[in-house]
Homo-oligomer: A and B are copies of this chain.
Amino acid sequence: MNKGLLFIISGFSGAGKGTIVEAFLERNLDVKLSISATTRECRECEIEGVHYNYISRESFENMIKNGDMFEYATYVGNYYGTPKSFVMKELEKGNDVILEIEMQGALQVKEMYDDAIMIFVVPPHAKDLKDRLLNRGTEGIDIINNRLKRSYEETELMLNYDYLLVNDQLDDAIKSLEGIRCAEKIKYKRFLYLKDKFKEELKEIID
């Protein structure tokens, strides 16, 4: 059996990658979503194991020490990271896994797992980012500007991605993601062993 595929989905803040991933998972129930771990407290609106796995600082630091984190970062004094064990276990079982993760972390994972398929989500126009962030209404203009500045600084990192998913119509974006999955599954590099199998089989049936 072939291993599962690891899809890394990144995108500028406000590009709508969360919405795409959620809708994709609803239609592709056999795909697993990797949940990040964090040391920050669970907010009232959040659910353990859905938004994050909330773990102690000690556990997190132990996982770092043991190489059990694919990537991690600190933000406002808390750790955020991607535990390796869940991802690797599912891939070994033949299940495809999605990582929704920012660019710096994505590149760290790619470095450790070169087979990862890198997908970058963009809106049709950059101004859509600002509109969406403003419409969310959860952040002030200063934070929004910081997010946009970070996007600006990170554009060069787009070069590390395999696919560009333009989030114009949600349904089209999901179909594109399904197309990527379908195509990646039949990449010849995943079936190199079939060449020799066919050669053997052909040899046997030639009279």
Q: Which A residues form the contact surface with B (CB < 8 A)?
A: 12, 120, 122, 125-127, 129-130, 141, 145, 148-149, 151-152, 155-156, 158-159, 161-166, 175-176, 178-184, 186-188, 191-192, 194-196, 198-199, 201-207
Report how many copies the assembly holds: 2
Q: Is the interface of A mostly helix, strand, loop or mixed?
A: helix
**Contact between chains at A198 and B126 (CB < 8 Å):** yes
Knowing A148-B205, A151-B202, the reply to whether A165 touches B179 (Cβ < 8 A) is no
In Å, the complex CA distance between A162 and B12 comes to: 30
**Contact between chains at A186 and B165 (CB < 8 Å):** yes
**Contact between chains at A183 and B179 (CB < 8 Å):** yes
Q: List 17 A-B contacts (CB under 8 A).
A: A122-B198, A126-B202, A126-B205, A127-B205, A129-B202, A152-B206, A155-B196, A158-B194, A162-B187, A164-B186, A164-B188, A166-B186, A176-B182, A176-B186, A179-B182, A179-B183, A182-B183
Taking CB atoms, residues of chain B closer than 8 Å to A165 are: 186
In Å, the complex CA distance between A89 and B199 comes to: 38
In Å, the complex CA distance between A207 and B130 comes to: 11
In Å, the complex CA distance between A165 and B149 comes to: 44
Among B129, B130, B179, B202, which residue has its beta carbon within 8 angstroms of that of A179? B179
In Å, the complex CA distance between A175 and B163 comes to: 19
In Å, the complex CA distance between A156 and B194 comes to: 11
Taking CB atoms, residues of chain B closer than 8 Å to A127 are: 201, 205
**Contact between chains at A164 and B194 (CB < 8 Å):** yes
**Contact between chains at A159 and B195 (CB < 8 Å):** yes
Taking CB atoms, residues of chain B closer than 8 Å to A187 are: 162-164
